[in-house]
Amino acid sequence: MVSERSEGEAEGVPQRAAGGRRSAAPDGPASDEDIEHFKETVLNKLTLMVGKDATTATDRDWFVATTLSLRDRAGSRFITCRLSF
């Protein structure tokens, strides 16, 4: 069975809510302050969760620390978005 979708609507993407917003997307590009905060978050994850410091970390260690940071950020945005509806 083929479902009808409006132009630009992807499969699995929820319909817009009553306010016309889909997600808590940022209004513009990240500021320098946001970028520095994310770098600090990745370094903290590298140290506390992966157990390495910046000088001994492998590429995989950096990847794991970055993905953990992104997971936390996405989870926080998801919860914020869900609470706003």
pLDDT beyond 80 at 21: no
Residue 59 belongs to some domain of the structure: yes
What pLDDT is recorded for position 84? 74
Entry pTM = 0.62
pLDDT beyond 50 at 34: yes
Host domain of residue 80: 53-85
Q: How far apart are CA 72 and CA 66, in angstroms?
A: 10
Question: Which DSSP symbol is given to 8?
Answer: T
pLDDT per residue as tens digits for the range 44-81: 999 999 999 999 999 999 999 999 999 998 887 778 77
What pLDDT is recorded for position 83? 74
Look at the chain and report how many structural domains it folds into. Answer: 1
Identify the helix (H) or strand (E) that includes residue 73.
helix 59-84
Residue 66 belongs to some domain of the structure: yes
Taking every pair of Cα atoms in the chain, the longest distance, rounded to a whole number of angstroms, is: 55
Residue 57 belongs to some domain of the structure: yes
